[in-house]
Amino acid sequence: MLTTEQPRRPHQPPRPPVRAGGGVAGNERLTAATGVVLVVLLAALGVTILSIGPLIWWHVLLGMLLVPPVLLKLGSTGWRFLHYYRGTAEYVRRGPPPLPLRLLAPLVVATTLAVFATGVALLVVGPGGGILVGLHKASFVVWFVATAAHVLAHLRSLPRLLGADRRISGTARRSLLLAGTLVAGTVLAAVSVRYGQPWVHWFAGRGREG
């Protein structure tokens, strides 16, 4: 009696589960999109520094607008850091960032927190901040150098990360999350801009004295 054997199919490894947020690829795209938004807003904030007296209102507005997107960026990078060192499979497979960027990251995070924390404190304290002004300026200088290096290192990967990829789920959620931080920043700026009034008067007084 003749028997026919079914051809054996090559063994295929099980597919990783599709995560609602896109997993590590979604995290990378959220981080990249948030980074682009931050670069644009920080460039606008940098323009106000060139003429801080007349543009102090814009400096305060943009600074407070940036707070929620900055927290989102820190959160998305911290999420990857946490899952990599906890041993989550897909994050481990993707691997860590290059060693120079891993060494630079703590400085970027620390100076980012320092710049924004001293900036908010100066709004609360007012022009009599004294040492806070020096800390704000010093942390900004270090932050600018560290962040510039960080941004330049990621420029080449941005087109790939920002490109549309239908295989990665969670695009709508990531877009809503980023848009939500901008709305929250707008509200925060509108609520807190009145605290910049003493600085407006202070710079105006300096202008009259000059």
**By percentage, how much of the chain surpasses pLDDT 70?**
86
Question: What's residue 7's pLDDT?
Answer: 52
CA 115 – CA 123 distance, rounded (Å) = 13
Domain boundaries, the chain: 23-159+170-209
Question: How does DSSP classify residue 55?
Answer: T
The better pLDDT of the pair 21, 162 is held by 162
Q: What is the mean pLDDT of residues 11-28?
A: 65
Half-sphere exposure of 209 (CA within 13 A, CB side): 6
> Residue 191's closest CA among 86, 67, 55?
67
Confidence class for position 188, pLDDT limits 50, 70, 90: very high
Question: What's residue 207's pLDDT?
Answer: 65
Question: What's residue 184's pLDDT?
Answer: 98
Confidence class for position 189, pLDDT limits 50, 70, 90: very high
> Residue 71's closest CA among 40, 30, 103?
30
Q: What is the mean pLDDT of residues 105-118?
A: 96
The better pLDDT of the pair 23, 21 is held by 23
| CA dist list (Å): 73 to 39, 69, 88, 100 | 12, 6, 20, 19
In angstroms and rounded to an integer, the radius of gyration of the C-alpha atoms of the chain is 23
pTM score, whole prediction: 0.84
- 148 close to 111: Cβ distance less than 8 angstroms: no
Question: What's residue 1's pLDDT?
Answer: 46
